[in-house]
Structure 1
Amino acid sequence: MNIEPSRKMSIFEPAIFGDLKAAAAAKKVEGFELYDLSLGSPDLPPDEKIRKVLSEQSFSANSYGYTLNGTKRFYEAVTDYYKRRTNVILDPHTEVIQTMGSQEGLVHLPLAFCNEGDIVLTTNPGYVAYDAGIKLAGAVPYYMNLLEENNYLPDLDAIPEEVAYKAKLMILNLPGNPVPAMPDAAFFEKVVAFANTYNVIILHDAAYSEFYFTGDTPSSFLTTPGAKEVGMEINSLSKSFSLAGTRIAYIVGNAEMISIMKQLKSNLDFGIFEPIQEAGIAALNNAEEITDRLRKIFAERHKVLMQGLTDLGWTVTPSSGGMFVWAKYPYDMDDKEFAFEVINQTGVVMVPGTVFGSEGAGYVRVALVQDVETLKKAVEQLKSLKIETCATLVNN
């Protein structure tokens, strides 16, 4: 039997994460201690309140039917969370939709709004799921480069008018993955003005909104005047509440756009397991207590890793939030070769920057997914690096 993949499969390149894990596993067999700072999967368990609800609800014999579009209780918990945390008022019936994790929502969303050949404005570097969704829809990405001189924010003024007028969708992620740039109100106001001028739908990926280390409340695009008229925000419970494996997220914002997403989603799945929704409700209803505790832990990790890499002579992107450190290493070496050489010499696992786009050349993404003592040990290990054939400093 001759089995061939579809032509569309050519857009899905094998992910490097498996290769990184395999290289790390090989070193472990040799007796190396590993310091895995690659995947952005929270190492801390969900709060006990969340685990208790999930356990109790899973035991109920009545919890195993289809939930279709999601429960009324979950939608009300989302709207109450937004009102408390960001002062944004949402209608739970028309301005919220549930997704099976943010990645599922992000990959499917371009299908709902883009025709083949439509332009989608996205960032370089950017989260890999954005490109997957754009290409799955047959749309065309236009990359907004995240550069140091622009504080790693997209330069909307640099987008050619002929591109802006043809664009259908813009995807933003602030603070982001892999670059944890933090927007201010003026930037989001500019985004709303751009959307109105060029008739572009805005999707803000707020997966890391609760990972802020300065200020009092999380940042939300929807707090910007006019934002709900031009766009949506997707948020996941994976990071903020350590619920990565449960796959639960939501999109909020413009009612007409949400209605279109509901139509698409009704053809794709039959809803999220009800006990997981109940666990999500417990998380959202106790967000202040849970996220305050997590933030203190991650803020300390952020401080230790930022300082540690800086002391090694690495150029670390300034950040005041997010779950990652974006760093330029001080060697003239291909980032993928560098990542594997670091594993080989030190056991420290990081993700090469070009996984996220061409502007990631010379960078690595380092995740804050180990405790402070482990991060300190990882930095100590990096001190022993010997890159003999590539000793030229990148920033010389």
Structure 2
Amino acid sequence: MKLRDMISLTVQRHRAPDHNPTNTAHLELLEEIARGGMGAIFRARDADIGRDVAVKVLLEDHRCRPESTRRFLEEARIAGRLQHPGVVPVYSLGRMPDGRPYFAMKLIKGRTLTALLAERADPAADRMRFLAVFEQVCQTLAYAHSKDVIHRDLKPANIMVGAFGEVQVMDWGLAKVLTRDGAADGERLDPSAEVSGIQTPCGEGSDTGQGGSDTRAGTVLGTPAYMAPEQARGETDKVDERSDVFGLGAILCAVLTGRPPFAGPGAAAQQRASRADLADAFTRLDGSGADAELIALAKRCLAPAPAERPCDAREVAAAVTGYRESVERRLRQAEVANGEARVKAIEERKRRRVALALAASVLLTALVVGGGWGWWTWERATRRATAERAADVALGQADQAGEQAKGGGSGGGR
């Protein structure tokens, strides 16, 4: 059923009907696949190109809130202009017949990092695999930071991992373009650029509501369990790349220990985040069994004071890449050492076999020579004894014959 042929579309889901979009030109909306604080994402069919796409639509609850509309459009604009493999491509931006904005983007097939981490029997399982995923996240954020864009809601639930290892950072709904003096490079994003002619359907109004997810709208932006202390305190003027660095450290903490830095319910987690209560997280990191370099990197990223953290994601990415390369180098060296040890063991076995064969040969020769000499000596003694016995017999016979001769001569004289 094509949307252009409908006045409204009802998607049969276990959701409130006011979240269901109405219609738009060439897209056939199918099922809802995700939902956030401001928008719902649907799998859709692009009839013009003949491919499945993802369509994000502003929720009805935010329809009359200018700030929500502005953020929604800003998400589409920022994601559309960040040309990087780790950012989901945006195809088009438009509005529904009821005035709500939507944007179409690439349909990502994969699983969140949250789901993958939850499957581990132990946080130490597949550590290098998840570190590779984390490295790609850092590279994506390094690119965004090079364009003066910060994400402000980094967490495993916003990391999608594809079936072939591709990694993408999702949900740029809280992203912000930083403004700095002298940052007028044409390659950088212009926060004042016109987005489109899309207006708030209900006219100007206040945006005072909160979304229905863990991501908070208003002065406190982010997810409490992964939130930088300055974000948790609502110090928006202090939020910059180093706040994202804290988010990266929080993800690394979850990878190494199985839990975020500020575990617990949302309100409690936010309070702990605002106090920078990291004692439990650091204890878990120390007991994780990970290499000291990784633990030190996580702690640096999670430093309570922004000035004590790496300056941006590029520095974090370089540290992770350096660590992985050192691990691979150590593994190669270990393989070479093992190979050399195997060769030495084989050569040693060969030498031992030669030595044993030589010893056996010498022993056999000794046995043969010794046995021959013994046989010759025995044979010689036997012959001598035989000769002596024969001589004795002959002498005995001669004596007997002499006696007999004497006896015969005496008788003849008489």
TM-score by length of 1: 0.25
Structure whose alpha-carbon radius of gyration is higher: 2
TM-score by length of 2: 0.24
RCO (CA 8 Å, sep 6+): is it higher in 1 or 2?
1
